[in-house]
Amino acid sequence: MDGRQIMTADEVRRATIRISHEIVEKQAGTAGLVLIGIQRRGVPLASRIAAAIEANEGSPIRVGALDITFYRDDLSLASAAPIVKGTDIGFDLNEATVVLVDDVLYTGRTIRAAMDALVDFGRPQAIRLAVLVDRGHRELPIRADHVGKNVPTSREEVVRVHLVEVDGEDNVTIERVAPVGELAGAVG
Partner 1 sequence: MTVDLPAATSEPPAIDAASDPSSGAAIPPPRWRHRHLLDVDVLSWQDIELVMVTADSMKEVLARPIAKVPALRGHNVTILFYEASTRTRISFEVAAKNLAADVVNVAAATSSVTKGESLIDTIRTIEALGADTIVIRHPVSGAPYLAAETFGGSIVNGGDGWHAHPTQALLDLYTMREHLAGGSLAGRKVTIVGDILHSRVARSNIWTLTAAGVDLWLCGPPTLLRGFESWASRGAASGRRFTVTSDIDAALQDADIVMALRIQRERMAGGLLPSLREYAARYGLTSERLETVHPDAIVMHPGPMNEGVEIAPDVAAGSRSVITDQVANGVAIRMAILYLLAGGGRG
Are the C-beta atoms of 160 and 172 separated by less than 8 Å?
yes
Strands (E), 18-155: 33-38, 62-66, 97-105, 126-134, 146-150
The residue among 108 and 134 lying less far from partner 1, judged by its C-beta, is 108
Size of interface with partner 1, in residues (CB under 8 A): 25
Other Cβ atoms within 10 Å of 59 Cβ, number: 12
Q: Which stretch binds partner 1 (CB under 8 A): 5-13, 27-35, 79-87, 150-158?
A: 79-87
Other C-beta atoms closer than 10 Å to the C-beta of 89 total 18
User: In angstroms, what is the minimal distance from the CB of 145 to partner 1?
Assistant: 26
List 31, 76, 141, 178, residue binding partner 1 (CB under 8 A) = 76
Work out whether 60 is an interface residue with partner 1 (CB under 8 A).
no
**Cα–Cα distance between 105 and 94 in angstroms, integer?**
26
Q: For partner 1, which residue of 9, 18, 26, 69 counts as binding (CB under 8 A)?
A: 69
How many C-beta atoms surround the C-beta of residue 120 within 10 A? 9
Q: Which helix (H) or strand (E) holds 19?
A: helix 9-27
Q: How far is the CB of 131 from partner 1 (least distance, A)?
A: 21
Binding span for partner 1 by CB under 8 A among 9-17, 28-36, 97-105, 120-128: 120-128
Q: How far is the CB of 21 from partner 1 (least distance, A)?
A: 30
Q: Do residues 86 and 67 touch, judged by C-beta distance below 8 A?
A: yes
Site residues (CB under 8 A) for partner 1?
67, 69-72, 75-76, 78-88, 116-117, 120-122, 166-167
